[in-house]
Every structure is written in C-alpha cells, then in structure tokens.
Chains A and B, each alone.
Chain A
C-alpha cells in the first residue's frame, strides 16, 4: 500500500468545554477494513464524523485519498462524493421511493443522465438484494431493508471509502445479519471501510484491524486477534468483558473521571 486512504493526524475535537477527541492519529490503508470499538462517549462516532467533516475538527488534519479535508480551501462537496457514509438511523429520504433515493443524488450531484442513474441504482439494489423493493417508500421497509437501501445509495455514488456509524445499532436483533452480510460482501470486494460498531463477531471475522477508543484517545490498535483476543490494556479487557457477557457484569461504583481517562 503506497499511501493511506484515510489519514488522521493529531485530531482534537471539543464541544464547548467538553473535549471529546484528545489527539487521534490513525491511518487506514487502501482496501483495509477497520472496526472502531469503545464505550459510549469514547468519541468513536465523533472521530468517524470528522473523517468526512460532518463535524469540524478543533485541531489536526484529516486526509482522504491524499486530499486534505481540513484545508479551508478544499471543495468539501467534491471530496465527500468519494466518501460514502452510512448512519445509525439510515436517513433515507422519506419523500422519495427507494429508486429515487438512489437516483436523485447521482443526478443532482454527479450530473448523471436519467438512464445511467437508473441503471446504477438497479445494479446496487441488486447487490444488497432488494431489487423487488425498487418502487417502495422507505416507511414501508423494515429497518434492515432501509439500512441496506442506505448502503446501496452510498454505493451508487461510486465511493472509494465507506464510513459506517453504528449501522446495526438501531435494528431488531434478527435483522442485523442481512446488513452485516452486505458489509462483509463489500469488505471481500476490497472496499476501504471504517466501521464504528458493537458487533464483535463482525469485528473479529471481517476486520483487518480493530481500534479500541476510550476517553477520546486510541487505547489499543491491532489485529482482531490482538485487540479482542488478547487485549493488553485493562480498559480494553474491562470493556470487552462487559460487552461479550453483559449478564456476568458486577454492579460497580460510578467513577466520575472514567470518561476523562485518568486511570
């Protein structure tokens, strides 16, 4: 791999007095699948949203495909076309049919003609296994179907990088599998992916690297075998034990500075 597809340097992000990211350095190579895990409030979603500048970093630099997004003169709309984003709440456009959700961005943003956009939309719907829902409205689909349409919508723009922000967290448990299957397919096809998730099975089996975040910093970064299988930090072990076997967790004293990462 020549240059990293995604590169984050010295990233800080504060909301008022609340410092959510405290110096993140991260590189993701071409075709690499990186899962970001960590407790809620650890800053993992904020990090992901900084990568396509939905959140403006307070300090630091973000590069995607060699272009610096944090450069004030960059054409952010042009760069974002190369970055697909999938949200926890799907965010399909409810006033448009499934096909229109896929064609409107192509036509308005990429200026594709009607026939080309429709063809790309049909191809991508087929990839996520939802060709028969082409004319349905989002409200008539299950959460899992909506999320697969959202993935197809991003893919229709021909992105080089895909960002996933807890893509299965809003789904009923029995619908998670279909979405993960689509993501696994993308990973196998060599898409560069950054995935914020709580799905440990997915992280273990599909990810090339797992990044554990806590208190706004990266605590551990390595292969799934290292980070999930044999974590070296106490915070990682603690988080994983609670996540993998929540029923066995003990009642604990709340430690007020836990998020602050003072330990």
Chain B
C-alpha cells in the first residue's frame, strides 16, 4: 500500500512502470491457478474417483425414491419448520418491541439462547430429552411434528430479529399517518406496518428458508422410519449399503437443485428492492 503512494509521489528512476507491475502481478496469479489445476489433474486417480462418486448404475437405482421420498420429506420438514418459525418469530418480534418490560426481556432471552445453541443440540433435546423428561407426552404429528418444532424453535430466533428489523425499517411517518386516521396501535401494526415490513424482509426470510433447508438434514439424529427419511439420511443409508459414495453426491445435487434457484430468487429480489429505492 505504502509503496503505491510512493510511486505516485515520486516516479522511480529505474525498474518497472505501474502498469507493467500490475500485469506481472496478474500473470503470476493466473500461473498459480493453472499450476494447481494441473497438479490436481495429474495426481488424482480418475478411475477410482469415478468409481467412488459417479457410478451410473447406483445413481439410477436411487430414482425415483430420492425425489418422491427423500426430497419430498426434506421439503416437507423445511416448510413445516419455516411456518412454525415464522409464526413464533412474529410473536417474539412483537414481544421484543413491546412496551411491557418483561415481554422484551423474555424475547431477548429466547433469541440469545436459541441463536447461541447448535441446531443439532435442539434436535437431540426434542428427540431424546423431552420424551425422557415427560414420559407419555407425544408431540403432535410424530416425527413431522418433532422436526417442525425443532427447526421452528431455531428459526424463530433468527426470524424474530429479522422481523423486528423490518418493522423498525418502516418509516415513522407511516405509523403517525395511520394513528392520525384513527387506527388503534394494534390495527395500524396489522394493516399498515407489518405488510410493509414483510416487503422489506422478503430477501432475508428467503435466505432463512435456504438455511432451514440445509438444517433439515439434522433429522438424522431423531431416529426416523424408512418412510420418514430425507435426503441426507437417505443418501447415507444407501452409501453404506452399496459401500459407494455416489448416493451422497446425488443427494447433494438434490439440495443444490433447490438452494441455487432460491439464492437466485433472493438476488433478484434484492436487486429489485435496490432499484425501488432509486
């Protein structure tokens, strides 16, 4: 950095010009990249890699179950967790903005706890600790209910903060206009503020959906029946029975099938929002 300014301040008498040095630096970066690719291509055992990760017969054997069962369950778990998380997150966000102190504290404590704990721990807690602590209680919906609850509990903490930020991002004049028209605080919140807040937070909420989609793999630790398996569990089970990694690769591709388009949608929404501001 300092040498750059030196060059600008007093031209060097000998050596390279600035543009020469820039092209040299770029050339060196390309050279390193090409060398790394060549080194990998030469050292890798291609036959073995293909055998281990891309066996056509095993991949074919996974269809259609990987879609109709595993991907379907992944999507179901994710959506149910998202709905629970959104509803609970909304309540917690409103508590966080409440004028009643204890509500604010409770919401704050909830958010700190569930953002601070690994999602895996929550799944183990729901799957193991709750049945042990309250024998005889059954979570509604069986495995689906447990997953919705576990994912929802984690997601609610993140979503609550997102929703709170969205509500606070709605200009103060909107609430004043609503109140001056005779809206009660609750009506103004429901009819005027929250619809605008959701427009603002649609991109981060969709990101949250992507994160949940991946976290749904933690169902692995709940102990599920064959019919309840989702992508990760399904891929792993098949990988161990076939002693081959192709199922893992296929399961991975199925995740990307959903997450990459979703990510694209988020970027589009963000770009549109950016444009609306201008």
Contact = CB atoms under 8 A, between A and B. Distances in A.
B176 A54 contact: yes
Interface in B107-158: none
A14 interface: no
B195 interface: yes
Interface string B155-190: 000000000000000010110111111111001000
A54 B195 contact: no
Interface string A157-178: 1000000000000000000000
A54 B179 contact: yes
A104 B171 CA distance: 19
A203 B196 CA distance: 37
B193 to A, nearest CB: 10
Contacts of A87: 173, 176-177
Nearest to B177: A91
Nearest to B190: A108
A80 B177 contact: no
A109 B190 CA distance: 13
B192 interface: yes
Contact of A95 (B177, B178, B181, B195): B195
Given A104-B191, A108-B191, A91 B182 contact: no
A91 B173 contact: yes
Contacts of B174: 91, 93
A190 interface: no
B21 interface: no
B253 to A, nearest CB: 39
Contacts of A84: 180
Contact of A78 (B171, B178, B182, B276): B182
Interface string A71-97: 000000110110111010101111100
A148 interface: no
B180 A85 contact: yes
A109 B183 contact: yes
B199 interface: yes
A54 B181 CA distance: 11
Contacts of B192: 93
Nearest to B176: A54
A192 to B, nearest CB: 16
A52 interface: yes
A1 B70 CA distance: 78
A154 interface: yes
Interface in A108-150: 108-110, 139, 150
A109 B276 CA distance: 30
B181 A154 contact: yes
A153 interface: yes
A223 B192 CA distance: 40
Interface in B40-86: none
B183 to A, nearest CB: 6
A91 B196 CA distance: 13
Interface string B182-220: 111001000110011001000000000000000000000
11 contacts: A54-B179, A77-B182, A81-B181, A83-B180, A85-B177, A89-B171, A91-B173, A91-B174, A95-B199, A108-B187, A108-B191
* A-B CB proximity, top 3 nearest: A91-B177, A85-B180, A81-B182
Interface of A: 52, 54, 77-78, 80-81, 83-85, 87, 89, 91-95, 104-105, 108-110, 139, 150, 153-154, 157
Given A77-B183, A109-B181, 15 more contacts: A52-B180, A85-B177, A87-B176, A91-B171, A92-B177, A93-B178, A93-B196, A95-B196, A105-B181, A105-B182, A105-B183, A108-B187, A108-B191, A109-B187, A139-B276
